[in-house]
Amino acid sequence: MNSALLSSDKNYWETPQDFFNKLNEKYHFTFDLAASDSNAKCKSYFTETDDSLSQDWHRIGGNLFLNPPYGRELHKWVKKAYEESLLKAEGDIVMLIPARTDTSYWHDFIFGKAQIKFLRGRLKFELNGESKDAAPFPSAVVIYGEVEQ
């Protein structure tokens, strides 16, 4: 197992490209809210330098993709996604996060407030475009704004 996936010092794991492509087929993302110049999934994106948490996401048109850093600050990203979704006039905020359903942020900002798609199995996140060992945690896609049909 890749111990770096457990460390909050190493929380910049990249979304597997195949997985993103499947999501993008449905949502046609316009913006990546947490990226680097080397791993951005959309043409438009925020990097760490842009300080995404201080930006007005609701002013960005279209559907927004978010695979936030999974460290100790994850709750801030989840809260921000929820709050911005309340202000966003059109489009969804689609977030890939660990399915740690026992945490307070899941109860405060996800359950009853978003659509949740639990993933079967474990994702193999990438680092510098290279697939790594399967994550030691389950993942979920959380969608703010979408009405389930």
Tallying the residues shown for the chain, one arrives at 149
- Count: domains in the chain: 1
pLDDT tens by residue, 12-51: 678 999 999 999 999 999 999 999 999 999 999 999 999 9
**Six-digit token string for 82:** 């929820």
* 57 within a domain of the structure (yes/no): yes
Query: Is residue 89 one of the residues assigned to a domain?
Result: yes
Residue 136 belongs to domain spanning:
3-144
Q: What is the pLDDT of residues 134-144, one digit of tens each?
A: 777 899 999 99
Question: Dihedral of CA 72/23/117/83: which sign?
Answer: positive
Residue 83 lies in a domain: yes
Which residue is it, tokens 């993103």?
20
71 located within any domain:
yes
How many alpha carbons lie under 13 Å from residue 63 in its C-beta half-sphere?
17
Residue 22 belongs to a domain: yes
In a domain, 149, yes or no: no
Specify the pTM: 0.88
pLDDT in tens, 59-96: 999 999 999 999 999 999 999 999 999 999 999 999 99
Look up the CATH number of the domain holding residue 125.
Answer: 3.40.50
Residue 8 has a CB neighbour count (10 Å cut-off) of: 11
